[in-house]
Amino acid sequence: MPDKYAVIGNPVAHSKSPLIHAEFARQTGEDVSYAAILAAHGDFETAVERFRSEGGRGMNVTLPFKHRAHALAQKRSRRAEQALAVNTLAFESDAVHGDNTDGVGLVRDLTVNLGRALRGTRILLMGAGGASYGVCGPLLDESPAELIVANRTKAKALTLCEHFRRLHPAAPVLSGCSYEDLAGKRFDLVVNATSAGLTGEMPALPPGVFAAGALGYDMLYGGSTPFLEFAGGEGGETADGLGMLVEQAAESFRIWRGVRPETGPVIAMLRL
């Protein structure tokens, strides 16, 4: 019998995780199965416990349950503590272990797949919701010269910065602001972690924030977004979040199985 894993969310039918993990299993020869589980909003904890009691070894957790997975985990990694969210549960004999692989997924996509070293660079992170909490710590770990978090609701950007200031040694390079405050500033990397693209919108980013050779990265995936069109129009290079999706999955697979699958062929397959 293969070892059982699953992604749990609501909705979950759109998830590419079963396909990605099936490819990882085929590639590494690991004997695993990976399902998608839809949980009703009131039913997340019961559904996790049911899967575990049926022999499940681990789960990926997607929206809207990442905060509840953080609360449910009895042991948590440093990056899960920083993110205040868990996207990877590993069922150990004595405890449920919670981790967050989103940030390392973004950083690996940027540094390995896209060849962008982040040390000493100026980074703009747009948004101060769950997606930004997930990636802020791992971005700080890369020792940028500056990490500015801009948000429509400025107070939320400031709250995020306060949170990381308490937890992260590199926090002095971190500051929060509104989009208007960005006028006249330049960045080497602009990451869109807002959900604006889901409704075809984009935050009110002033023109001129892309330095020469800058990259605009949208954590959403699936082709163009209003933000990527804007970034391209500003002369930036562009990338969507498909690589991040596959990299965060690879890190979950490594946590569970102790082997890191190759991501390049899987990213290429999903682009077809």
- Residue 179 Cβ, how far from ligand ATR at the closest point, in Å? 8
Instruction: Give the binding range for ligand ATR (CB under 6 A) out of 18-26, 93-101, 161-169, 196-204.
Output: 196-204
* Binding-residue pattern over the window 129 to 158 for ligand ATR, x denoting contact by CB under 6 A: xxx-------------------xxx--x--
Identify the H or E element spanning 59.
strand 56-61
- Residue 227 Cβ, how far from ligand ATR at the closest point, in Å? 10
Report if residue 10 touches ligand ATR, rule: CB under 6 A: no
Distance CA 58, CA 133 (A): 23
Distance CA 139, CA 125 (A): 10
Query: Is the Cβ–Cβ distance between 191 and 217 less than 8 Å?
Result: yes
Instruction: Give the binding range for ligand ATR (CB under 6 A) out of 17-25, 75-83, 127-135, 242-250.
Output: 127-135
Query: Is the Cβ–Cβ distance between 209 and 124 less than 8 Å?
Result: yes
Q: Is 16 an annotated catalytic residue?
A: no
Distance CA 13, CA 88 (A): 18
Tokens of 133: 């909490």
Report if residue 67 touches ligand ATR, rule: CB under 6 A: no
Distance CA 82, CA 170 (A): 13
Q: Is the peptide bond before 11 cis (omega within 30 degrees of 0)?
A: yes
Report if residue 262 touches ligand ATR, rule: CB under 6 A: no
Question: 4, 16, 66, 156: which is the annotated catalytic residue?
Answer: 66
Please identify, using beta-carbon distances, which residue of 34 and 179 lies nearer to ligand ATR: 179
Tokens of 201: 């919108």
Contact with ligand ATR (CB under 6 A): which of 60, 77, 194, 248? 194
Q: Beta strand 3-9 with 56-61: parallel, antiparallel or unpaired?
A: parallel
Contact with ligand ATR (CB under 6 A): which of 127, 137, 138, 241? 127
Q: Which residue is nearest to ligand ATR (CB)?
A: 129
- Residue 70 Cβ, how far from ligand ATR at the closest point, in Å? 13
Buried b (16+ CB within 10 A) or exposed e, 232-265: eebebebbbbbbbbbbbbbbbbbbbbeeebebee
| Interacting residues toward ligand ATR by CB under 6 A | 127-131, 151-153, 156, 194-196, 201, 203
As annotated, the active-site residues are: 66
